Amino acid sequence: MSTDHLAVMIRESVKKYGDKTAMRYKELGQWRSITYAALGQKIQAVAKALLEEGINEGDMIGVFSQNRPEWAIADFAILQVKGITVPVYATNTAKQTEYIVRDAQIKLIFVGDQAQYDKVKSFKSSQKQLGRIVAFDRTIAIDTDDSIYLDDFITQGEKSAQAAELEKRLSVVSPEDIATLIYTSGTTGDPKGAILTHSNFFNQFYAIDERFNVGTDDRSLCFLPLSHAYERTWSYYIFWCGAENNYISNPKDIVSYMPDVKPTCMVSVPRLYEKIYGTVYDRLDKAPENKKKVFNWAISVGKEYAYRVKDNKSIGPVLRLKHALADKLVLSNIRAVVGGPKNFFSAGGAPLSQEIEEFFFAAGLLICQGYGLTETSPMITCNSPKAFRFGTVGRPIKGCEVKIGEHGEILARGGNIMKGYYNKPKETEEAFVDGWFRTGDVGVIDDDGFVRITDRIKDLIITAQGKNIAPQHIETAIGKDHYIEQIATIGDKRKYVSALIVPSFAALEQYAKDNNIAYSSRQDLVKKPEIIDFYNRRINELSTDLANYEKIKRFTLMHQEFSQEGGEVTPTMKIKRKVVAEKYKSVIDDMYRE
């Protein structure tokens, strides 16, 4: 029996860590916990119930739910029977879900809430291969002809006589077994199912282990979607280490959960750090002048102190004293917002500005930015506490080679790369060149091996004047603003750069209230001259480091968010530029009328 297999890994962790807490989750306002031993029992019962359902080796099983302990229990149980887990984003529409169920020929699906259950039921009759729907919550109204509640499913497994068959399957597992199909979010065209093996995930574990120190005393907050490779791989790693995973079903609750859970390490996307940074500086804007001076002084001292520690330079008594005061007055308060000290933060999925990295660094919070894709399990490069350079995504991980190909494209090769796209030989072939995976991202590697991403090849804007512009660079600079929720940069084949901007309405409505700006609706609010002028000033302030041809010359404030339902964003909240350009063509054209 191979140890580089997730089904074996979780069994070993259950045996090793027994009564230690594996998972925590909130129910009716109270924290509940599940030990490693209890987790093992639940996984075993669900696995045997899957065998009772006639699940064969290699069958595809769906998980369509928000983050919760049951997500991981179902996933590990699927892997125990040598099935293949196919995650579906919790926010997917019925049509998007049906596409995945049909493409992967899913045989059974776990669902988390009523909306997800109803979406599956709406197309189930057309998917003859799809058997039972297993509902995580008893609050879901189900049709018992083809559906069952998870706790009844567990009871079914506990009574099952399939233990010998389960052991038989586990005795012949291999690292090269397929663990999952993760569907790419489809910014261009239909989603594709990336085939990832158990070996791909273990490649990541060994790479993380080399650079980070995570143990049984660590706590993580599981808030990014488990349907994505980033949180999924990290959560597997947490269980491999015997640490504790705390589940959040609604990612919007993250900031309120952090002081409660006090995570010691976690993965996140830049938006969380941008939100915290934006909120801090918005409050600072409204503070008295003396408080602003103290705050800015403390950040400056914190940065000087942190860089001296990083560079192994001596810290004299004066700086030590100044830092102690700065920490007491300001820096410790910033750490308190995120639940106290951290071993490290991680950031991925989108660029994070160096300014924000250095702000948290000054407060004693290191954000290790990394880079990767679903197809790379996901990590290709990352910074680490012992080797980091802000403004980069770090060095290539152990077991992965990186080089720059044609047109500056980043190419990767190693044990983290997927086997290919499910049922898509043509797309699989196009994804590789001479055995190297084509990331579709443009970047450079500096003399010390640190990688810097400049943009996605397909996202590059070429203006009417022939200027090549990276929209992500602009969106990172402007999007960190406290009053901006989403931004889509426009300018391809146009005379200048413009943008569609979705305000952060909670912040904007408070600003309107504080400044006695009357409005009847959000549609009315975004058209107010004083609001447009307010955004114009903020955008200009944030654009000082942009080249003149990169600066946003005109913008339109949108009265509703870009959404998955509206088709403008992927499940991972990446802007579908082509869809936005087509859907809002008349709005965009208006910005280019003389």
* pLDDT given for residue 243 in this prediction: 98
pTM as predicted: 0.90
User: Angle formed by the axes of helices 163-170 and 36-52, to 10°?
Assistant: 100
Residue 498 dihedral angles phi and psi, to the nearest 5° = -130, 180
DSSP 417: S
Q: Is 572 helix (H, G, I), strand (E, B) or coil?
A: coil
Q: Which residue has the tokens 């009564």?
A: 19
Listed in order, strand segments (DSSP E) in 385-469 are 395-396, 400-404, 409-414, 420-421, 432-433, 436-445, 451-456, 461-462, 468-469
Q: Are 412 and 376 in contact, with CB atoms under 8 Å apart?
A: yes
* pLDDT given for residue 2 in this prediction: 62
With a CB cutoff of 8 Å and minimum separation 6, the contacts of 157 are 44, 45, 46, 47, 48, 49, 50, 52
pLDDT tens digits for the chain (594 residues)? 568 999 999 999 999 999 999 999 999 889 999 999 999 999 999 999 999 999 999 999 999 999 999 999 999 999 999 999 999 999 899 999 999 999 999 999 999 999 999 999 999 999 999 999 999 999 999 999 999 999 999 999 999 999 999 999 999 999 999 999 999 866 556 789 999 999 999 999 999 999 999 999 999 999 999 999 999 999 999 999 999 999 998 888 898 899 999 999 999 999 899 999 999 999 998 999 999 999 999 999 999 999 999 999 999 999 999 999 999 999 999 999 999 989 989 999 888 999 999 999 999 999 999 999 999 999 999 999 999 999 999 999 999 999 999 989 999 999 999 999 999 999 999 999 999 999 999 999 999 999 999 888 878 888 888 888 889 889 999 999 999 999 999 998 899 999 999 999 999 999 999 999 999 999 999 999 999 999 999 999 999 999 899 999 999 999 999 998 898 988 777 888 889 999 999 999 999 987
* pLDDT given for residue 250 in this prediction: 87
Q: Which domains does the chain have, with CATH numbers?
A: 6-174+214-251+258-268 (3.40.50.12780), 270-457 (3.40.50.12780), 460-590 (3.30.300.30)
CA–CA separation, 361 vs 288, rounded Å?
25
CA–CA separation, 104 vs 63, rounded Å?
12
CA–CA separation, 571 vs 348, rounded Å?
15
User: Angle formed by the axes of helices 163-170 and 6-17, to 10°?
Assistant: 110
* pLDDT given for residue 454 in this prediction: 86
* pLDDT given for residue 187 in this prediction: 56
Listed in order, strand segments (DSSP E) in 277-382 are 344-347, 367-372, 379-382
Q: Which residue has the tokens 């290790």?
A: 368
* pLDDT given for residue 189 in this prediction: 65
Q: Which residue has the tokens 């009328």?
A: 593
